[in-house]
Amino acid sequence: MLDTKVWRRMLGVCDRTIIEQVEFDEDKDAVVAHVRPKRPRSQHCGRCGRRAPGYDQGDGRRRWRALDVGELPTWLEADAPRVDCPKHGPTVIQMPWARHGAGHTRAFDDTVAWLAVHTSKTAIAQLLRIAWATVGAIVNRVVVEARSAVDPFDGLQRVGIDEISYTRGQRYLTVVVDHDSGRLVWMAKGLGKKVLESFFDLLGQERSARIRLVSCDAQPWIGDTVRARCPNATVCLDAFHLVKWVTEALDEVRRQTWNEARRAGMTTHARDLKGARYALWKNPENLTDNQRNKLAWVERINQKLYRAYLLKEQFRAIIAVKGERALAMLKQWLAWAARSRIEVFVKLGRRLRQNLAGIQAALSHELSNALVESTNTKIRLLMRIAYGFKDPEHLIALALLDRGGYCPALPGRSGR
Ligand SMILES: [Zn+2]
């Protein structure tokens, strides 16, 4: 038999695991390693790690899926006796090679979690010979353990709160990001006051009082909850959402213009307007030549729509400038919108005025607009990837794994 040291590395177990014997199971075409925890470890509760008196033999011998050895599926096999934990009652002992309640080894779990943020669903399922739903469960236990080992809310001062819709139904997730670390810190099913309050309950009074700034969209339930729970926080509106309002207003003007043209029987004109959609949406620096021509056409043919376009672009410029100058520009912009004779923008101007305090806070605090936006985009993508997970909590775990900084290192790469 090979040296124990080599076997430990091949099986991905630490030196608290004793390898008794390694055999080849002809029937299963697999490697089976018989193992046991090193002595002092054999009397600890699997949940809390506390020492406890022995209870019984549990369900006898058990197997854990380990990483393949070469091309062979590999299993660890061991007794799984129980201790009588003062806190948890009869519980299977702590196994150094696996997380409590897991059917896979730690090295296997960590590899799955790493792959889940680095590669495709099909690649993981084929490479590791596991069902996609199992990946969800594994990711969940990796994240739960990683979060319990640290304070996930440590040092929170400036946060962004957002809600994201998923599936075509009315399902939502509430999302909290840390503007300073750039990380996703919390996520939960649903939206509304109750959901957000559960976040502040977790955070507790003391840490809530240390929150200085909260960025969000203009939903009253967010602002109200934050003001009630964070006495020292300024509530500011996310620039990302503001730009979205303005873009939506522009699109509304384009739709109206298109409808008018159609009703007047100007079909070619209407079709060209429809084609102008992307030219109007895109940032000028990203326009193709064709789109640039389209925009020049809009300028010649439809002054109202072109003014709406300029209003959108000017607003984007304000958001990009930030600071004192942006505040002065915003004042001019609001005056411009008010006398634009474009009803949609007159209305938008009123809406912005109603939220002026939050917008001014956003412009003077130099918050990154990109963070909320990219988290939003990434979570939507992760939702598609997580399709097939059995529990929505597993989707949340995948998002935290990827955006929260909980992705483990590959086994054997962290200097062990
Ligand atoms: Zn316990």
Give the domain ranges of the chain: 1-103, 107-236+390-408, 239-364
- Determine the distance separating the centroid of ligand 1 and the alpha carbon of 49, expressed in angstroms: 6
DSSP letter at 45? B
- Determine the distance separating the centroid of ligand 1 and the alpha carbon of 150, expressed in angstroms: 19
299-304: Cβ within 8 A, 24+ apart:
301/269, 302/257, 302/273, 304/253, 304/257, 304/341, 304/342
Say whether pLDDT at 265 is over 60.
yes
- Determine the distance separating the centroid of ligand 1 and the alpha carbon of 142, expressed in angstroms: 19
- Determine the distance separating the centroid of ligand 1 and the alpha carbon of 45, expressed in angstroms: 5
* Pair 175, 379: CB distance under 8 Å: yes
| Confidence bin at 238 (pLDDT 50/70/90) | confident
* Pair 202, 186: CB distance under 8 Å: yes
- Determine the distance separating the centroid of ligand 1 and the alpha carbon of 363, expressed in angstroms: 51
Question: Can you tell me the distance from the alpha carbon of 366 to that of 386, in angstroms, rounded to the nearest whole number?
Answer: 34
- Determine the distance separating the centroid of ligand 1 and the alpha carbon of 52, expressed in angstroms: 8
pLDDT of residue 386: 85
- Determine the distance separating the centroid of ligand 1 and the alpha carbon of 54, expressed in angstroms: 12
Mean pLDDT of the 51-77 span: 95
Question: Can you tell me the distance from the alpha carbon of 177 to that of 164, in angstroms, rounded to the nearest whole number?
Answer: 13
- Determine the distance separating the centroid of ligand 1 and the alpha carbon of 53, expressed in angstroms: 11
Mean pLDDT of the 111-131 span: 94
Say whether pLDDT at 193 is over 60.
yes
Q: Where are the beta strands (DSSP E) in 277-381?
A: none
Mean pLDDT of the 150-174 span: 86
- Determine the distance separating the centroid of ligand 1 and the alpha carbon of 93, expressed in angstroms: 9
| Confidence bin at 168 (pLDDT 50/70/90) | low
The residues with which 66 forms a beta bridge, in sequence order, are 74
- Determine the distance separating the centroid of ligand 1 and the alpha carbon of 148, expressed in angstroms: 15
The 10s digit of each residue's pLDDT in 297-355 is: 888 888 899 999 999 999 999 988 888 899 999 999 999 999 999 999 999 999 999 98
The 10s digit of each residue's pLDDT in 107-119 is: 999 999 999 999 9
| Confidence bin at 416 (pLDDT 50/70/90) | very low
Q: How far apart, in Å, are the Cα atoms of 89 and each of 59, 94, 396?
A: 16, 14, 30
Half-sphere exposure (Cβ direction) of 231: Cα atoms closer than 13 Å: 5
- Determine the distance separating the centroid of ligand 1 and the alpha carbon of 357, expressed in angstroms: 51
Mean pLDDT of the 176-191 span: 93
Mean pLDDT of the 230-256 span: 91
| 58 C-beta neighbours (distance < 10 Å), count | 16
- Determine the distance separating the centroid of ligand 1 and the alpha carbon of 269, expressed in angstroms: 73
- Determine the distance separating the centroid of ligand 1 and the alpha carbon of 11, expressed in angstroms: 27
Q: Where are the beta strands (DSSP E) in 110-240?
A: 158-166, 171-178, 184-189, 213-216, 234-237
Say whether pLDDT at 8 is over 80.
yes
pLDDT of residue 415: 47
Question: Can you tell me the distance from the alpha carbon of 333 to that of 336, in angstroms, rounded to the nearest whole number?
Answer: 5
Say whether pLDDT at 376 is over 90.
no
Mean pLDDT of the 214-237 span: 90
Say whether pLDDT at 28 is over 50.
yes
Average pLDDT, the chain: 91
pLDDT of residue 65: 97
Residue listed under structure tokens 């939220």: 355
